Structure 1
Amino acid sequence: MLFLKTISRAELIEFEGISMVHFFTENWEKIQNFQARPDDILIATYPKAGTTWVSYILDLLYFGNTAPERQTSQPIYMRVPFLEATFPGIPSGVDLADNMSTKPRLIKTHLPVQLVPKSFWEQNCRVVYVARNAKDNAVSFYHFDRMNMTAPEPGDWSTYLQRFKNGKTVFGPWYDHVCGFWEKKQTYSNIHYMFFEDMVEDTGRELERLCSFLGLFTPIEEREQIRKGVHFDSMKHNSMTNYSTIPLMDFKVSPFMRKGKVGDWKNHFTVTQNEQFDEHYKQKMKNSTLHFRTEI
């Protein structure tokens, strides 16, 4: 892990109206001009909301049978390129996506809806959006930023929570992100909006709904096999899905895939923090019809 010593944490910058780091803005013109194809599938999420989980599910649905060698030879971040990423030592997300020969191309993004390259909408691409309740999302993002050596210094938990509420985390406010895609869904029918909590509660049911959206007729036995394969513990110990092959993260601090639970926020929020958060949340979400569960 010599590489870790040469990486320095990025500074938070204001970019296109949101908080960002240079790893996601350096290639901006190429990102915005990215040419989507009609059969591309975009996996969109706020960071730490179940992106890898859904990426792996889609990869298995489309290529689990036809190209099983992908599962053991290529880490997930090569099979499902992170569109806006330009990290040292790895080809940029745009280059990876442009060079993919698979159909469909599975592409992931954390960009808020207004910054998604226009060609995805113009080509009427299918978009799978995953949302996670704000409290668990904040906790997961905090632990991720502690171990992700390219992220801004997270500080202690209470400092971080304040920053999260203020929308000063990478990719901007959680509130705007989840609501932005929810509103887009009202006018753009090709969005499948999923909730992390529903996936934890009944992965099989959510798999079935996802197949229905994608127009896939996957046999029950195959879906059951996928459900077992994408179980959190299986993925956590799978070097092709747990990001242990990427030299930008310090696994001594925290694993990339930490708990994958609903309600872990209770182990982090003090009573006061919880009350203040609820009050703030009510204000921020008062105009939205979007509802989340913080426990199941």
Structure 2
Amino acid sequence: MELVKIVDEYGNKIHYKRYQGRSFHPDFLGNVRDHLAEISAYEGQRDDILLCTFPKSGSHWVFNMVQMIRANNFEYNGTPAVMEFQPISDFEKLPSPRMYLTHLGYPFIPMAAKRGDIKIIHVLRNPKDTALSYYEFFNSMRNVAYEGTLGGFLKYFLSDEFVAVGSSLFPYMKEWEDAKRNNNKLQILNLRYEDLKQNLFENILKITKFLNLDRPDDFLRGVEQNVSFERLKEKHDSNLGETERWKNNADGGRLPIYRKGKIGDWKNKFTVAQNEMFDAVYKEKMEEMGLTLDEFIFE
């Protein structure tokens, strides 16, 4: 493993761990290799749910709606445990029914999930809003992987070196799409952030069916109300949003999760030149990798 610290020509600071040619967040536990091995070998429990998302794609939102549906109540469930940032022993302590999160690319998720022994919920969001949300997220915390301008961040976000967890955006999407196409053992529900925003109740019904649960419509309507952006932000801004794990990054360990939660906010921040650059690189990368994903909703 190599610790990488870069200051580019504009003074933007980039910090990550490199292992076997891939970039990992600097908070990834240990030397990367050993923790990846532990994650891969983790068997979990048969009723576990593994939430898989690229960072800033609605992870906490989906986590809370799933846990409300499973627990049959409207209690706020806070911040999910994240496999790459916490010891495996932490997951054994989680109360059932258990759900935990990873931003790792497909090659690194537990083998139990690849065998279909753990159900997966996978969420994607349009890359422009993802990039902006990630930049604002870093900009609101201490001791982060990137410090600098939005323009510098967008170039970095679109590069192969981007500090996600194990891959930048385009390999992440390709590896997941290849897995969905080639591994018929996967028990996976695919969700789009924008579809959740536009058709939330329909997706709550879809999640409930995927979990093989029977919940009355009036209860699921209550879930819909309790996972509104305003309701979750209010809960998160209370002491319920505090965590010990992230105390070095944010006051009270409260991650700046809930910012706007809108589709198309990138239009308020990207310059014309930045948007044209993003479109050109995005088109080139998608064609280069042969990705045929349905078109994202960008506004």
Cα distance in 2 for partners of 1:125, 1:42 equals 7
Counterpart of 1:177 (choices 162, 172, 179) is 172
Query: 1:25-64 to 2 correspondence within 5 Å?
Result: 25-26=29-30, 27-64=35-72
Cα distance in 2 for partners of 1:57, 1:289 equals 29
State the AA in 1 paired with 2:89.
D
Note the C-alpha offset of 1:241. Answer: 8.7
State the AA in 1 paired with 2:132.
V
Cα distance in 1 for partners of 2:239, 2:135 equals 17
CA RMSD of aligned residues (A): 2.5
Note the C-alpha offset of 1:22. Answer: 3.9
Cα distance in 2 for partners of 1:194, 1:44 equals 10
Note the C-alpha offset of 1:214. Answer: 1.9
Query: 1:202-221 to 2 correspondence within 5 Å?
Result: 202-221=199-218
Q: In the alignment, which residue of structure 2 is the partner of 1:245?
A: 242
Gaps of 5+ in 2: 1-12
For the 8 Å contact 2:264–2:298, the answer to whether it is kept is yes
For the 8 Å contact 1:12–1:152, the answer to whether it is kept is yes
For the 8 Å contact 1:50–1:130, the answer to whether it is kept is yes
Q: In the alignment, which residue of structure 1 is the partner of 2:123?
A: 130
Counterpart of 1:15 (choices 12, 19, 29) is 19
1:162 correspondence with 2:155 = yes
State the AA in 1 paired with 2:56.
K
State the AA in 1 paired with 2:57.
A
Deviations 1:195-238 (A, max 9, x none): 00000111101111111222222211011000000001111111
1:293 correspondence with 2:288 = no
State the AA in 2 paired with 1:289.
T
Q: In the alignment, which residue of structure 2 is the partner of 1:261?
A: 262
State the AA in 2 paired with 1:261.
K
State the AA in 1 paired with 2:93.
N
Cα distance in 2 for partners of 1:58, 1:164 equals 29
Q: In the alignment, which residue of structure 2 is the partner of 1:4?
A: none
Note the C-alpha offset of 1:64. Answer: 3.6
Note the C-alpha offset of 1:160. Answer: 0.4
Cα distance in 1 for partners of 2:129, 2:283 equals 16
The percentage of counterpart residues that share the same residue type is 25
Structure 1 stretches of at least 4 aligned residues deviating more than 4 Å after TM superposition: 240-244
Q: In the alignment, which residue of structure 1 is the partner of 2:141?
A: 148
For the 8 Å contact 1:12–1:19, the answer to whether it is kept is yes
* 2:189 counterpart SS class: strand
State the AA in 1 paired with 2:273.
T
Q: In the alignment, which residue of structure 2 is the partner of 1:281?
A: 282
Cα distance in 2 for partners of 1:158, 1:267 equals 14
What's the TM-score once normalised by structure 2's chain length?
Answer: 0.83
Gaps of 5+ in 1: 1-8, 87-91
State the AA in 2 paired with 1:102.
S
Note the C-alpha offset of 1:138. Answer: 0.2
Cα distance in 2 for partners of 1:97, 1:43 equals 13
Counterpart of 1:107 (choices 96, 100, 113) is 100
State the AA in 1 paired with 2:55.
P
